[in-house]
Structure 1
Amino acid sequence: MNENKRLAEEVFSLIKPVDTYAVDEILQKELQNLNKKIIVLDDDPTGVQTVHDISVYTDWTEDRIEKGFSENKSMFFILTNSRGFTFSETEKAHKEIAETIVNVAKKKNQDFIIISRSDSTLRGHYPLETKVLKETVEANLNVRFDGEVIMPFFKEGGRFTVDNVHYVKMDEYLVPAGETEFAKDRTFGYTKSHLGEYVEEKTHGVYKAENTLYITLESLRNLEIDRIEQQLLSVENFNKIIVNAVDYVDVKIFVIALIKAMNKGKNFMFRSAAALTKVIGGVSDKALLTREELVKEESNHGGLVIIGSHVKKTTEQLEELKQSDAVEFIEFDVHLVLELEKFEKETDRVVQLTNQLIREGKNAVVYTRRERLDLGEGKKEEELKLSVKISDAVTSIVKRLEVRPAFIIAKGGITSSDIGTKGLEVQRATVAGQVRPGIPAWKTGSESKFPGIAYVIFPGNVGTKTDLKEVVEMLSGKPILNR
């Protein structure tokens, strides 16, 4: 296992440095030539982990998409939460979204691009989502998509693409994504780390690795912008374009060539992690958020932390948080979902205790039982349906809060989406920024259950071992003491 891992320092030392100031200057000029509204479809709420002062809409009604088009910002996000959907639900949602985007774009006479933002460790409904978007837009608009750009690079989470292989940084090593726990995902698993081979695997051979177009680090670092533009101009028949990247400068150089190609009439669909959205949306860097920016009103109430993700990193962060005296823990035995009456009683117990702790000024940490519910082989859809029931119960904790917490943190993509949309009933939120690299915070809209509350969306697979503890400490405004 992990026999193909590489020492990160060695890999990065071989990559040619580049003048980032010169690249930034060219990029700024090129972004002014991009007269398209950028619509990012986010399959869970963590995709805003690189941006700030950007709107996130939690549904895709025509009114909501029209509002997004009318904003003076070049980009807005629509939270689909499709990673928690079945195949058919995903298909239906993406068809609806694409049709509505086309209707609004026609009404506004505005050009657009769609970015399908998904997991930086390659999990999600791929190739389904971009295929449905492509086919629906083409059927309703006089446009043809020439290619699909695939860029899972996400520096803040330690995801790098080198020599067309996608890696996850673990300690000092780069481990091929296909050899990590993420590749074993019961719903979205895969075996290939080479992105061309990943595409071939996921499309069942419809798109071959050997025919895929690769944008190399050498080409990017040598500033071969014209050459990359020519590569993009040559793409046809929705062929796939793999972009190698180890730093934001690689994304910037690629985007310069991309805008040039688009302005010559080429159309692309995008499947990317969060780095591309920041660069193509022209979003500036921003310092990490402070407590003063997030917790405006002094409250005697405690905060709420809900932990649903089961990845190894989340469990490590939970164990670290358990060393603190500033939080009270409630384990939610979600395995009782198999016995309805017992599950309802357990949910009631958790809700009652959560309200009590927050009212008493204590930070309540609700975490789901750590072992995964495993129904055995060939039960993917059944497991997904049970996980939706569990998610609904977790969400009901927030729905049934009788007191306003000082802050809310949700750990895990699907968990944070359901809490945002169903628990807090957010229709539109503004991304305030990040509390730690790759860990975003929303300010909820006036329509939500707790208007203007700081809602931290903590991805399951992001952050150091101590980040969760430190974020709780920062938002509490009180030191977390080790036992």
Structure 2
Amino acid sequence: MNVIESELLAGYPPEVEIAAREVAASVVASGRTLVVLDDDPTGTQSVADLPVLTRWSAEDFEWAFAQQASAVYVLTNTRSLDPAEAEKRNREVVRNALSAAGGEALGFVSRSDSTLRGHFPLEPEVIADELAQASGVHTDAVVIVPAFPDAGRVTIGGTHYMRDGSGGLTPVAETEFAQDATFGFRSSRLAEYVEEKSGGRYPARDVIVLDLNVIRGGAGAIADALDRAAGGAPAVADIVTENDLRALALGLAEAERRGKTLLYRVGPPFVRGRIGQEVRAPLTADEAFAGRAPGPGGGLVVIGSHVGLTTRQFDVLRAEHPSARVVELQVRELMRNMTSSAGIGFESLDPVVAEVVAALAEGDVILHTSRTLMRTDSAAASLQIARTVSAGLVHVVRRTLAQRAPRFVIAKGGITSSDVASEGLQIRHAIVRGPMLPGIVSLWEPVGGPATGIPYVVFPGNVGDDRSLLDVVRVLATVHP
């Protein structure tokens, strides 16, 4: 059921203009560094010049904190894990971050999907519990902010919507994302979503709703609404614009100044708004390559996501970049070989590796999984299939890198981009330099390791229009030796 955005907004106050520097000043005053536990790497798409970790030992955090940034991203990739593994990983990250901070003030953000897929409420609850055990800090509220206006996700009147491109809004539970094999859901109203996902432990009637009347009513109004929060109470926030994110940031800062301890479960742009970063313009080719001459040969585009938008983007790229070699990783054959008593496994991918390496000498290569999605009625089994396929892509990328470094690498999809970064390219530390498209696709500069000097683009499966992947490839392919 579509509704008209302008009609919904007519009953609320207009947005209030807020400068990013005003928010940034409140961050400096707090002395707090945000640690962002990102359940896949796509959450960096809205920020710039922040450190990223794919490993989380205390030593890794020491490197990240030494960058003296307002926020640090930790690529936990928990969306690819089962609940027990996700819990363990969240605890490790919080414990090691606190150890490395040496008493310096930290805040914690659980970054997840703007279309509500992920381990909720597990992850914020685990973070809160670990904070209580490790430092005696008790969380008053978990503030839930999935909105991602850059990608057409907005929350109005407590309901989360997707824009349709023509002024209409579709409740997110009516989109393909709500049918996710592992993280599906039925509720678009966020208070009801919280009740659904918590199995009723947090009744919808008890969820604090920060609607646009509150968000646009000033920092004091937001802090007042959170005054009654205690014991990790869920609070959900309306967001339509960047100014709304900044208004919320000031209100949260005021609530924390009054003594509230808050955790955040959020979509990508929340961190940009919370730390007072300006919206950065997309990177040029020269900026993407950090002013260096790119290596010879072509770049590598790795496509693992199966959402409809990704397939359409792939079709456009293939049609309008005909010089690129297209190489398919056949999923059914891989799964058959992985379960074969002959123990073939990833050895069956050797011809794929050879084809990719040879083609990179001539130009760009598009490595994709077969487009027919394998899934089962079991969420756990579907997740295991996704992990096996991603491991196959990682195998190809890692073997390729050992033989020929691509000019650039673009990875399409959440699990895909995480595994390609941490395992395929063996990136341990990186700096996110900024977006390749406005607010939705980020570029990392690897720091150390075999991928040094290779721009790495993290491209979510569910953002952009049909031509967006082609647009990014064209930027990176404009510089030739």
* Amino acid in the other structure paired with 1:85: L
Is contact 2:37–2:90 with CA below 8 Å preserved after alignment? no
Alpha-carbon distance, 1:478 to partner: 7.8
Say whether residues 1:399 and 2:398 are aligned partners: yes
Per the alignment, residue 101 of structure 1 pairs with: 97
Alpha-carbon distance, 1:280 to partner: 1.7
Alpha-carbon distance, 1:238 to partner: 1.1
Determine helix, strand or coil for the equivalent of 2:227.
helix
Per the alignment, residue 14 of structure 2 pairs with: 17
What pairs up with 1:60-459 in 2 under 5 angstroms? Answer: 60-105=56-101, 108-172=102-166, 173-221=168-216, 223-295=217-289, 296-324=292-320, 325-340=322-337, 344=346, 346-360=348-362, 362-375=363-376, 377=377, 379-401=378-400, 402-437=403-438, 438-447=440-449, 449-459=450-460
* Amino acid in the other structure paired with 1:473: R
* Amino acid in the other structure paired with 1:304: L
Cα distance change, pair 383–220 in 1 and its aligned pair in 2 (3 A): closer
Mind listing any 5+ residue stretches in structure 1 that lack a counterpart?
none
Alpha-carbon distance, 1:25 to partner: 6.0
What pairs up with 1:461-472 in 2 under 5 angstroms? Answer: 461-472=462-473
Determine helix, strand or coil for the equivalent of 1:214.
strand
Alpha-carbon distance, 1:422 to partner: 0.3
User: How many percent identity over aligned positions?
Assistant: 32
Is contact 2:409–2:457 with CA below 8 Å preserved after alignment? yes
Tell me, in whole angstroms, the C-alpha distance in 1 between the residues paired with 2:330 and 2:61: 39
Alpha-carbon distance, 1:28 to partner: 4.1
* Amino acid in the other structure paired with 1:261: A
Give the stretch that moved more between structures: 23-32 or 74-83. Answer: 23-32
Q: Deviations over 1:207-233 (max 9, x none)?
A: 011111111112222x33222211112
Is contact 1:333–1:346 with CA below 8 Å preserved after alignment? no
Tell me, in whole angstroms, the C-alpha distance in 2 between the residues paired with 1:386 and 1:312: 19
Q: CA RMSD in A?
A: 1.8
Determine helix, strand or coil for the equivalent of 1:49.
helix
Determine helix, strand or coil for the equivalent of 2:302.
strand
Is contact 1:332–1:346 with CA below 8 Å preserved after alignment? no
* Amino acid in the other structure paired with 2:172: A
Determine helix, strand or coil for the equivalent of 1:234.
coil
After TM superposition, the score normalised by the length of structure 1 is 0.93
Is contact 2:434–2:443 with CA below 8 Å preserved after alignment? yes
Cα distance change, pair 24–415 in 1 and its aligned pair in 2 (3 A): closer
Tell me, in whole angstroms, the C-alpha distance in 1 between the residues paired with 2:57 and 2:243: 36
- Tell me how many residue pairs correspond in the alignment: 468
Tell me, in whole angstroms, the C-alpha distance in 1 between the residues paired with 2:380 and 2:21: 49
Is contact 2:427–2:451 with CA below 8 Å preserved after alignment? no
Is contact 1:332–1:367 with CA below 8 Å preserved after alignment? yes
Is contact 2:182–2:382 with CA below 8 Å preserved after alignment? no
Is contact 1:320–1:469 with CA below 8 Å preserved after alignment? yes
Tell me, in whole angstroms, the C-alpha distance in 1 between the residues paired with 2:246 and 2:413: 29
Is contact 2:249–2:273 with CA below 8 Å preserved after alignment? yes
Give the stretch that moved more between structures: 321-330 or 115-124. Answer: 321-330
Tell me, in whole angstroms, the C-alpha distance in 1 between the residues paired with 2:355 and 2:12: 53
Alpha-carbon distance, 1:67 to partner: 2.4
Tell me, in whole angstroms, the C-alpha distance in 2 between the residues paired with 1:282 and 1:85: 32
Alpha-carbon distance, 1:193 to partner: 0.3
Is contact 1:313–1:461 with CA below 8 Å preserved after alignment? yes
Tell me, in whole angstroms, the C-alpha distance in 2 between the residues paired with 1:62 and 1:333: 39
After TM superposition, the score normalised by the length of structure 2 is 0.93
Find 2:35's aligned residue among 10, 22, 39. 39
Tell me, in whole angstroms, the C-alpha distance in 2 between the residues paired with 1:15 and 1:436: 30
Tell me, in whole angstroms, the C-alpha distance in 2 between the residues paired with 1:338 and 1:227: 54
Alpha-carbon distance, 1:265 to partner: 1.3
Find 2:47's aligned residue among 48, 51, 60. 51
Give the stretch that moved more between structures: 139-148 or 159-168. Answer: 139-148
Cα distance change, pair 281–30 in 1 and its aligned pair in 2 (3 A): closer
Is contact 2:24–2:275 with CA below 8 Å preserved after alignment? no
Give the stretch that moved more between structures: 253-262 or 321-330. Answer: 321-330
